[in-house]
Structure 1
């Protein structure tokens, strides 16, 4: 079950981790059909752990957290009894996703109830209340503008994050490097998160070398995080332009083969880049073939690398002419300089590729 949490509440510095966890439990039982709920501490504990066998300290912390929410006016007590049974109005916790332009937009983080149960039941001496809050704050730092395309052309968004640990710690009150390092390793070991640790340095605008912030996200998105991170290193941040172009050329040829074998469709801009490189690569191999023949060699090794371009015929925009009469309009001049065509590690004809298992 997806649980929607208000980012402002989970990062509210006036609230302890006890209160944030109690808030999470209340959101797990809340729906839009009613404002008043019968609540007791064991009910909240069950939501968090899927169990009711809990220590006295655990129950006390949840009770303290609930009282914090009451004191800070996030929730209102309608009726309560000495044995910690409550009738609560928790309508203030409702997240309205359809707010109009006159209201402040609510930013929220989505966490699965299974993730909550797993963290709250971890076999660890670390404070699981704080670990859960830290995990939620990590998730809240998602980069909505980051986009990744796999070799099949499928687009992925909202999966990667790359804020510093200091920033994440500031959201949830963790100021010690030792503490959030322990939290990171605990979450990694239990396959809750995946962290791609860059081994490269980048130069800032002053020319100073600095570490590249780690890329991270849910463990289930591990391959996407790796792919996105490697792309950033190779195409956006790499200082060696030769290696950068070589990797880009391989990527474009892989996408070309996917277009042929699987019928993969890419966005117009990417299709133009693929076509431009394939056409250029064919021209270079044709030239090398002719030069080899002139020197008395067969040149077959170059001829075998020439691939069919029929797959591009259906894209009319690839063959439109500009007002100056130049063909193949280029909308991204930064990609014009391809350098020398890079041989694939296992170069083969289209027919050979299509027949691969």
Structure 2
């Protein structure tokens, strides 16, 4: 394979359903094969000839495949069939025909009504991961693929998270802030494996992570903000966004500053409870409080617009139409509002970081989640 042929290879989008890539009952090989099948699937075709050799060539761009690796692809196909996601029509050794109709979906018709949330990755990202040198990173490529697509699934979408690229085009799905605990859970791997996989994906310039080395101590427990994740090509956006939030929520030795941050979080939680009581008819509040609840609801919806995690929990803004004092003037603020950012109280998974991921090998968040000296977690999943 020549360098020029690799450079001329066009990358294409691959649309993956979140409820598939996050299904812990599907094997890592199953997720790997699912990525391939979604990459080749078209709208006007349901039966597909599937060759294990061609599948491996798609990922590694070589026909040099060992028998043990062929079995992994076959196991992945069988797993997807056991889950009812594909149906075998015919087979001969390592060649098959499958009906792929069950995994087809139209990305333009996915929304909160049908609950079909999806993630977009690119074929060159998948092939880059599969072609990582085993001598440098001897890990399961299927697990690494699974982890990567799940990290991308946490990237924020919507108007509030749209960025303008150098060519003038706009795009969302650029940045994510999930904690190590969340990434560990949705990817079905341990926290120390998350740390190892992050390092590999950074070294191969697939992900960029704005790491933390700052610390917040509240009520004698560690609390803070998550690292910032994104594709390496969006490094500038990740750094800018990370620095902005670090300035607002980062470490400060001032006790009063820490108390202020805690108070802001407590106030949001309090308004959330009051919103529930108000719309449920459990309690009525005075005019000023209702206005505060309304502002909280509007802010919440803007923050989570088109966010698959909270789409079903968006606040009912129309409920406030019954109050004549609720007008657009209620939302006016002399100070420019800063983009809200999730802070988890009393958590050891949410800390911010420095800009260069390789100069500072681990963030406070990652160090906290590392095994202690007396632990023997030597096996990377």
Matched, 1:179 2:193: yes
Distance 2:163 2:64 in 1: 46
Distance 1:101 1:143 in 2: 15
Distance 2:127 2:28 in 1: 16
Aligned counterpart, 1:216: 229
Compute the TM-score of the two structures, normalised by the length of structure 1: 0.62
Compute the TM-score of the two structures, normalised by the length of structure 2: 0.58
Distance 2:19 2:227 in 1: 24
Deviation at 1:143, TM superposition (A): 1.7
Deviation at 1:57, TM superposition (A): 1.6
Distance 1:229 1:101 in 2: 29
> Where do 5+ consecutive residues of structure 2 fail to align?
1-11, 258-330, 338-381
Determine helix, strand or coil for the equivalent of 1:222. Answer: helix
Aligned counterpart, 1:234: 247
Q: Of the two, which has the highest radius of gyration?
A: 1
Deviation at 1:100, TM superposition (A): 7.4
What is the CA deviation profile of residues 93-125 of structure 1, one whole-angstrom value per residue up to 9, with x for unaligned ones?
A: 112224377951311111111111110010121
Matched, 1:107 2:117: yes
Deviation at 1:33, TM superposition (A): 1.0
Identify which of 79, 82, 86 aligns with 1:71: 82
Which segments of structure 1 move beyond 6 Å, counting only runs of 4 or more? none
Aligned counterpart, 2:334: 333
Aligned counterpart, 2:183: 168
Identify which of 24, 43, 58 aligns with 1:32: 43
RMSD: 3.0
Distance 1:239 1:195 in 2: 22
Pair 101,185 (structure 1): closer, same or farther in 2 beyond 3 Å: closer
Distance 1:142 1:75 in 2: 28
Deviation at 1:6, TM superposition (A): 1.1
Deviation at 1:334, TM superposition (A): 3.6
- How many residue pairs get aligned? The number is 245
Determine helix, strand or coil for the equivalent of 2:89. Answer: strand
Distance 2:50 2:208 in 1: 36
Distance 1:161 1:129 in 2: 22
Deviation at 1:182, TM superposition (A): 1.1
What is the CA deviation profile of residues 223-242 of structure 1, one whole-angstrom value per residue up to 9, with x for unaligned ones?
A: 1000001111224557589x
Matched, 1:201 2:215: yes
